[in-house]
Amino acid sequence: MRNVSTIFQRELASYFFSPIAYVVISVFLIASGFFFAGNLQFWQEASLKGSLDSIQFFLLLLTPVITMKLFAEETKSGTIETLMTSPVSDFDVVFGKFLAALSLYIVMVLPTWIFVLFLTIFGNPDFGPIFSSYIGLILMGGLFVSVGLLVSSLTKNQVVAAVIGIVSLIILWVVGFLSKYGEGWFYETLRYIGTYDHWESFTKGIVDTRDVIYYLSFTALLLFITVRNVESRKWR
Amino acid sequence: MINVKHLTKRYVNIAAVDDISFDVGEGEIVGLLGPNGAGKTTTMRILTCFMPATEGVATVAGYDVFTDSLNVRQQIGYLPENVPLYLDMRVKEYLMFRAKLKYIPRRERKKKIDYCLEMCGISDVQNQITGTLSKGYRQRVGLADALVHDPKILILDEPTIGLDPNQIRQIRQVIKDLGQKHTILLSTHILPEVEMICDRVMIINKGKIVAMDTPENLMKQLKSSANVVLEIRGDGEKIKDSLSNIGGVRSVVWKEKGDASEFVVEAAGDKDIREDIFKCIVKDNYTLREMKRQTVTLEEIFHQITTRETEGDSDNA
Ligand SMILES: Nc1ncnc2c1ncn2[C@@H]1O[C@H](COP(=O)(O)OP(=O)(O)OP(=O)(O)O)[C@@H](O)[C@H]1O
Ligand SMILES: [Mg+2]
């Protein structure tokens, strides 16, 4: 456990040494700002309605770009060898990297509060759904980051990691979305697995423990699989 | 300190390391010598817990590399083959990160890092980004990293590869100095290096240890069956026949050389055949122009041992 913070600090610092973090954050803010303005005009209402869905979509595209390097780069450059032969546990490495990427994700999402500020200046927004949405965004971030982290630990090619990460997240999203169009246990399962449904209730101002548990447990499961995958080097 | 028994690492189609056993005692500097693809890196990766062996046991500082890997890793300093570094960090930052990872208490970190910077001669570049360092300097940073937690055991994979002759000299001296306090296992293809710094050499080829001894003994062992080179005037075939009939000669090879012929006579065992050869030549009335004993360098031993695979008599220790 002691090394989690050491890994975390290095990873976070390295994000700011490379242009990727700045590029991703700028792209995200420009795109979401654009859609915020569009949605505002469309709904004519002081809320983040619509904007949040587009924000979610950009996060889905951009989070794997944040996470793509986490393991792939180390495997490719060989630094994984120095890292894994120093006295750190696999969990420390995985969790430290997870926290660093999640922090960057939060850094990326937080400036969207400007939109909220904007709403309060020109209107009278209902803060309930806004707060709950941000709780949802962060929980969802944990899930997205852990998907990207797992994918990054499976390949040494960063581009492949990003692409597979994006595809996985889209599938996870679409699966939940499709569940709207049917009944029965199958659609019920899809609905549970997919992120869409869980996310939706946050945007309505509901923080349901079941949704919180869904995000946390799914994230934990993915982190667990990643640790096992990193470990697998040792018994292959 | 390092204890290896029947270690085997098999990849899909080949055994990279094939049933090797050896020990490295406390304070020894042992060189692992072998051609490309011999299995040096693989052996080191197993010892540093980076990958598991297919079969066999290895203990480092008394801990099993498979079941006690965290303890093993605390005891070793490892310099991997290509010296991977985080290229976006400054030298000092990098060493600080590594020192933290290796649980050096906060108060001692600065002192230890300064010591390593000094030892490896990189104090001048401590604020440079590692990505902008030359290969030799990266090598030194890697070495400094291996040293930073003052490990009992150093495992260095080709520590002098890619360095210029001056740097090689310096790094060798550094390693030699380190040998006073640490147990060192290093790999290399450079033979003089082993002669210079190692107490013991293991020659490894195709995953097997084919020789293990002190550099002096290895040379003695092979010198005894050293070749004698002769330049003689006369009928080559006939001379060859008479030479072959001398007791204790294993083989004779000859070729034309101007108006004379050059012979390479290999003796069996450790018999000195020079006098017999001389008598034989005098008896048959040939003209001897030159006789010399081929001095055997570690280079040749290496060549002989690693290319001699049809003969089954490898000098296993
Ligand atoms: N991941 C792998 N999959 C299959 N074969 C491998 C793998 N890694 C190494 N090998 C093989 O194992 C053998 C030993 O490799 P190793 O890297 O240990 O050699 P080496 O002695 O370090 O050589 P060099 O002097 O070139 O560094 C080689 O034949 C190599 O091709
Ligand atoms: Mg090698």
CA distance B275 to B298: 26
The answer to whether residue B6 is domain-embedded is: yes
B276 and B178 belong to one structural domain = no
Pick from A10, A81, A235: CB nearest B97? A10
The answer to whether residue B29 is domain-embedded is: yes
The answer to whether residue B260 is domain-embedded is: yes
CATH of the domain at B272: 3.30.70.3100
Rounded to a whole number, what is the distance in Å from the CA of B158 to chain A's nearest CA? Answer: 15
* Chain A CB within 8 Å of residue B73 CB: yes
B189 and B257 belong to one structural domain = no
Mean pLDDT estimate for chain B:
85
Query: Considering the entire predicted model, what is its pTM?
Result: 0.84
CA distance A136 to A146: 15
pLDDT at residue B41 greater than cutoff 90: yes
The answer to whether residue B183 is domain-embedded is: yes
Cβ–Cβ under 8 Å, residues A64 and A162? yes
From the number of C-beta atoms within 10 Å of its C-beta (0-12, 13-18, 19+), residue B147 rates as buried
B187 and B261 belong to one structural domain = no
Q: Return the number of other C-beta atoms located less than 10 Å from residue B29's C-beta.
A: 22
The answer to whether residue B303 is domain-embedded is: no
Pick from A6, A81, A236: CB nearest B101? A6
CA A140, A141, A144, A145 torsion-angle sign: negative
- Taking the centre of ligand 1 as the mean of its atom positions, its distance from the CA of residue A193, in whole angstroms, is 43
Cβ–Cβ under 8 Å, residues B153 and B77? yes
What's the total number of domains in chain B? 2
Residues 6+ apart with CB under 8 A from B10: B16, B54
Per-residue pLDDT tens digits for B164-195: 888 888 888 888 888 888 999 999 887 778 88
Percent of chain B with pLDDT over 90: 42
Domain boundary among B198, B221, B244: B221
The answer to whether residue B236 is domain-embedded is: yes
Cβ–Cβ under 8 Å, residues A179 and A173? no
The CB of B40 under 6 Å from ligand 1? The reply is yes
Domain span including residue B252: 224-293
Residue boundaries of the structural domains of chain A: 2-231
Which ligand has the minimum distance to the alpha carbon of residue B46? Answer: 1
**B74:A10 CB<8 A:** no
Return per-residue pLDDT of chain A as tens, 236 residues. 788 999 999 999 999 988 988 999 999 999 988 888 888 877 777 677 778 888 888 999 999 999 999 999 999 999 999 999 999 999 999 999 999 999 999 999 999 888 888 888 888 888 888 889 899 999 999 999 999 999 999 999 999 999 999 999 999 988 877 777 777 888 888 778 888 778 888 888 888 898 999 999 999 999 999 999 998 876 65
**Binning pLDDT at 50, 70 and 90, where does residue B299 land?**
low
B67 and B173 belong to one structural domain = yes
Chain B residue with the nearest C-alpha to that of A78? B84
Spell out which residues of chain A touch residue B70, defining contact as CB-CB under 8 Å. 87, 89
Q: How does DSSP classify residue A184?
A: S
Please count the CA atoms within 13 angstroms of the CA of B11 that sit on its side-chain side: 9
B192 and B208 belong to one structural domain = yes
B89 and B190 belong to one structural domain = yes
The answer to whether residue B317 is domain-embedded is: no
* Chain A CB within 8 Å of residue B258 CB: no
**Binning pLDDT at 50, 70 and 90, where does residue B316 land?**
very low
B73 and B197 belong to one structural domain = yes
B148 and B278 belong to one structural domain = no
| A123 three-class SS | coil
Domain boundary among B221, B249, B265: B221
pLDDT at residue B70 greater than cutoff 60: yes
pLDDT at residue B152 greater than cutoff 80: yes
- pLDDT confidence of residue B237: 85
The CB of B51 under 6 Å from ligand 1? The reply is no
Domain boundary among B173, B204, B221: B221
Rounded to a whole number, what is the distance in Å from the CA of A150 to chain B's nearest CA? Answer: 20
B261 and B141 belong to one structural domain = no
The CB of B39 under 6 Å from ligand 1? The reply is yes
The CB of B261 under 6 Å from ligand 1? The reply is no
Per-residue pLDDT tens digits for B267-279: 776 677 888 888 8
More confident residue, A76 or B264: A76
* Closest to B305 in 3D by CA, of B230, B201, B229, B228: B201
CA distance B17 to B42: 7
B66 and B165 belong to one structural domain = yes
Spell out which residues of chain B touch residue A17, defining contact as CB-CB under 8 Å. 88-89
Atom 10 of ligand 1 has which residue's CA nearest to it? B16
Q: From residue A207, how far is each of A102, A106, A110, A190, B263 by CA, in Å?
A: 20, 19, 19, 21, 93
Chain A residue with the nearest C-alpha to that of B94? A10
**B101:A86 CB<8 A:** yes
- Taking the centre of ligand 2 as the mean of its atom positions, its distance from the CA of residue B118, in whole angstroms, is 28
**Binning pLDDT at 50, 70 and 90, where does residue B315 land?**
very low
- pLDDT confidence of residue B311: 40
- Taking the centre of ligand 1 as the mean of its atom positions, its distance from the CA of residue B187, in whole angstroms, is 13
* Chain A CB within 8 Å of residue B74 CB: yes
B82 and B52 belong to one structural domain = yes
The CB of B42 under 6 Å from ligand 1? The reply is yes
Pick from A3, A77, A86: CB nearest B84? A77
B233 and B201 belong to one structural domain = no
**Binning pLDDT at 50, 70 and 90, where does residue B226 land?**
low
